[in-house]
């Protein structure tokens, strides 16, 4: 309902487990790595637990997109089954044919064993995933343990992944299930998001859905309130944000303030649950006050009487000095200005077990000293490297360091340790972050250097700055060095996530449409004057009339945009590139493309 009002292509805060919207916090990244690492170990159980709404199912969906091509996956969503029903469900998921209603558990087990042996002979691996596994009875869990006994001399034939709430860990600690507990090869518990992760989470989902400036829709004060209301639970965050966006739409507002969040949280959670976890309910405080007011009054009377007695006893006059009060102002908490560097997890797989990530070429190049530096003079290097080799030579490929390189192309010095959250720092310098999901063709169309997010074979994320695209390869900048990768190899590890920087027009919030009245329309008219070669470009009218719409359509046709007369983000990015020579360009070897 509100999507078009905010310029979104779809609802950004759906509670459906869409992997495209998965925000990979440090612990989510570790959880995914544990799943992939556990499957590569082949055999036994993997446990992923977490409170309701922390993202277990979404992590699993993301994992299923990365399972090896030689893996067969059975996914069971309803685990409230007895042993026989569970085996029937496994047979159904693996397309194992069985006939008759009088089959015994042994019959089903034999069918499954035969299928696993046949798959193993073809070099295939079988994975069973069970969601809401805390609902499994001890008898069914024991049946699952017996299934993991199906093996050859070399390996287990079945890998089982259990997703569940925290009580699943307690179930495995029961004495009667100690044999099952010993079969667990990897386990991970998902907690709620921290305060520092709330704003990146919200802004990521808004950006993926097409929002140009997420920090305008949800300002910092609202983000802090959101953490107070949601306690960092992703599902609760989604529900509150979705309802608050609807409230903003109903009130014709472009910004979600704390009042709208409070109203949305009350509708979602109920009045009694909308409380800061460190504060007491107002009703409780009132009750405490009413319970003790008589005692307080009595104490005051006693103190007054004692003062009279002392005054009558001591001769002479005395000077009474009012006590001084010291007011201490608490500094406001900066929810998104603090950057934390994730440390290597002790449970992460060793580097020797991580798969390589294709072949790269590398060459040292000087740090860019001017905006829009070309990389064409550094091509033609033949040395080949795996991803592990590149990490050893170039260091970590973190998001913070990628922003250092990207902002340098814009002529801006950025230090993760002192400058804070990269996108906020960029905004202070007049540019904005824009995260999207698309293709190499879309990045070429926008013509801006971009940060690409790559996922390696074990689910780790790597961020590299794309500076040049040619016919057969893409060229990245990492800490002043250039790496070339074939387009074929890129598509093995890139899911389409990228971030560019752009100069947002002053006061721009949503796409400019015919019939609207906005000061941004005046800026748009002047930019079109510059593009069209008018001798003295001037600010246009605030009203988006038919003449302005016609000029926008003409520009859109020139640059290959849909000629609808609506000045959205893509149109404004391209218009700024043609009218502002200080914006860095993505190097395109068009003769080779």
Q: What is the CATH number of the domain that holds 443?
A: 3.90.70.10
Residue in 239, 263, 268 with CA at minimum distance from that of residue 251: 263
Contact 51, 233 (CB under 8 A): yes
How many domains is the chain partitioned into structurally?
4
369 with 421, same domain: the answer is yes
175 with 204, same domain: the answer is no
Tokens of 39: 């499957």
52 with 76, same domain: the answer is yes
248 with 368, same domain: the answer is no
CA distances from 140 to 79, 89, 131 (A): 9, 13, 14
Residue 400 CB partners (closer than 8 Å, separation 6+): 339, 341, 416, 422
Q: How far apart are CA 162 and CA 76, in angstroms?
A: 10
What is the per-residue pLDDT for 100?
62
381 with 478, same domain: the answer is yes
Q: How many CB atoms lie within 10 A of CB 43?
A: 18
Q: Which of 145, 160, 190 is the last residue of a domain?
A: 190
CA 481 distance to own-chain centroid? 28
The answer to whether residue 12 is domain-embedded is: no
Residue 101 CB partners (closer than 8 Å, separation 6+): none
Give the torsion sign (CA, 369, 372, 377, 381).
positive
What is the per-residue pLDDT for 328?
31
The answer to whether residue 307 is domain-embedded is: no
Q: Which of 502, 534, 551 is the last residue of a domain?
A: 502
185 with 199, same domain: the answer is no
The answer to whether residue 513 is domain-embedded is: no
The answer to whether residue 476 is domain-embedded is: yes
DSSP letter, residue 330: P
Residue in 53, 328, 46 with CA at minimum distance from that of residue 165: 53
Contact 397, 391 (CB under 8 A): yes
What is the per-residue pLDDT for 176?
84
405 with 426, same domain: the answer is yes
DSSP string, 464-518: EEEEEE-SSEEEEEETTEEEEEEHHHHHHHEEEEEEEEE-PPTT--S-B-TT-B-
The answer to whether residue 9 is domain-embedded is: no
163 with 258, same domain: the answer is no
Spell out the long-range contacts of 489-495 with Cβ–Cβ below 8 A and sequence spacing 24 or more.
489/357, 489/358, 489/359, 490/440, 490/452, 490/454, 492/357, 492/358, 493/357, 493/358, 493/454, 493/455, 493/456, 494/452, 494/453, 494/454, 494/455, 495/65, 495/437, 495/453, 495/455
CATH number at residue 120: 3.40.50.300
Q: φ, ψ for residue 590 (rounded to 5)?
A: -65, -30
What is the per-residue pLDDT for 241?
93
What is the per-residue pLDDT for 331?
35
461 with 532, same domain: the answer is no
Q: How far apart are CA 205 and CA 18, in angstroms?
A: 11
3-state secondary structure of 449: coil
Look at strands 125-130 and 71-76 and give their pairing. parallel
Q: How far apart are CA 451 and CA 476, in angstroms?
A: 9
Q: How many CB atoms lie within 10 A of CB 544?
A: 24
What is the per-residue pLDDT for 304?
55
528 with 562, same domain: the answer is yes
The answer to whether residue 593 is domain-embedded is: no
Q: How far apart are CA 43 and CA 186, in angstroms?
A: 11
Please identify which residue in the block is written with the tokens 């309701």.
Answer: 52
Give the torsion sign (CA, 7, 12, 13, 14).
positive
The answer to whether residue 231 is domain-embedded is: yes
Mean per-residue pLDDT pooled into runs of 10, the chain (593 residues): 84 83 78 75 78 83 77 84 87 81 82 87 86 87 84 79 87 84 82 87 87 84 91 91 92 91 88 46 42 49 52 43 34 35 38 36 39 38 56 76 92 90 87 86 91 82 88 82 82 85 83 82 90 87 88 93 89 91 83 44
Look at strands 125-130 and 158-164 and give their pairing. parallel
The answer to whether residue 75 is domain-embedded is: yes
159 with 102, same domain: the answer is yes
Radius of gyration of the chain (CA): 30
Tokens of 167: 């009580």
What is the per-residue pLDDT for 272?
53
Q: How far apart are CA 270 and CA 293, in angstroms?
A: 31
489 with 428, same domain: the answer is yes
Q: Which of 273, 301, 329 is the last residue of a domain?
A: 273
Helix (H) or strand (E) holding 523: helix 519-532
Task: For residue 215, give its domain range.
Answer: 195-273
């Amino acid at each position: 309902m509100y999507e078009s009002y905010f310029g979104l292509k779809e609802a950004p805060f759906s509670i459906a487990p869409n992997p495209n919207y998965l925000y990979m916090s440090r612990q989510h990244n570790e959880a995914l790595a544990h799943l992939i690492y556990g499957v590569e170990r082949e055999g036994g159980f993997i446990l992923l637990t977490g409170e309701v709404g922390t993202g277990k199912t979404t992590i699993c969906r993301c994992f299923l997109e990365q399972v090896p091509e030689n893996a067969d996956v059975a996914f069971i969503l309803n685990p409230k089954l007895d042993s026989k029903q569970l085996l029937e469900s496994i047979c159904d998921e693996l397309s194992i044919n069985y006939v008759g209603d009088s089959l015994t558990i042994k019959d089903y087990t034999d069918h499954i064993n035969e299928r696993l042996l046949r798959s193993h002979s073809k070099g295939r691996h079988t994975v069973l995933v069970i969601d809401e596994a805390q609902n499994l009875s001890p008898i069914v869990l024991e049946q699952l343990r017996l299934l993991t006994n199906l093996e050859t001399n070399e390996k287990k034939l079945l890998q089982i992944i259990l997703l569940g709430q925290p009580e699943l860990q307690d179930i495995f600690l029961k004495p009667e299930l100690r044999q099952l507990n010993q079969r667990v090869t990897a386990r991970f518990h998902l907690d709620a998001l921290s305060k520092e992760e709330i704003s990146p989470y919200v802004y990521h989902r808004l950006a993926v859905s097409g929002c140009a400036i997420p920090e305008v829709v949800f300002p910092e004060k609202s983000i802090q309130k959101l953490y107070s209301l949601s306690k960092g639970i992703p599902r609760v965050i989604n529900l509150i944000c979705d309802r608050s966006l609807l409230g903003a739409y109903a009130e014709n507002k472009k910004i979600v303030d704390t009042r709208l969040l409070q109203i949305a949280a009350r509708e979602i959670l109920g009045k009694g649950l909308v409380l800061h976890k460190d504060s007491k309910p107002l009703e409780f405080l009132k009750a405490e006050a009413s319970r003790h007011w008589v005692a307080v009054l009595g104490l005051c009377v006693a103190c007054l009487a004692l003062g009279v007695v002392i005054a009558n006893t001591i001769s002479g006059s005395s000077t009474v000095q009012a006590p001084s009060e010291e007011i201490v102002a608490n500094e406001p908490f900066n929810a998104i200005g603090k950057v934390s560097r994730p440390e290597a997890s002790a449970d992460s797989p060793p580097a020797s077990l991580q798969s390589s990530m294709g072949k790269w070429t590398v060459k040292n190049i000087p740090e860019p000293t001017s905006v829009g530096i070309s990389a064409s003079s550094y091509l033609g290097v033949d040395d080949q490297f795996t991803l592990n080799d590149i990490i050893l030579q170039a260091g970590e490929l973190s998001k913070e360091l990628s922003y250092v390189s990207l902002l340098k192309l814009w002529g801006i010095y950025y230090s993760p340790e002192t400058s804070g959250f990269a996108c906020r720092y960029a905004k202070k310098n007049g540019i904005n972050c824009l995260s999207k999901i698309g293709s190499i063709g879309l990045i070429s169309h926008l013509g801006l250097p971009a940060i690409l997010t790559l996922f390696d074979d074990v689910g780790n994320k790597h961020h590299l700055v794309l500076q040049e695209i040619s016919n057969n390869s893409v060229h990245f900048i990492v800490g002043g060095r250039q790496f070339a990768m074939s387009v074929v190899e890129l598509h093995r590890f890139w899911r389409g996530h990228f971030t560019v920087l752009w100069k947002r027009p002053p006061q721009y919030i949503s796409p400019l449409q015919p019939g609207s009245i906005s000061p941004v329309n005046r800026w748009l008219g002047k930019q079109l004057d510059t593009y069209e070669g008018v001798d003295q470009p001037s600010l246009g009218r605030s009203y988006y009339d038919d003449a302005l719409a016609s000029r926008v359509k003409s520009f859109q046709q020139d640059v290959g945009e849909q000629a609808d007369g609506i000045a959205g983000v893509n149109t404004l990015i391209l218009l700024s590139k043609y009218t502002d020579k200080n914006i860095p360009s993505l190097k395109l070897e068009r003769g080779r493309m």
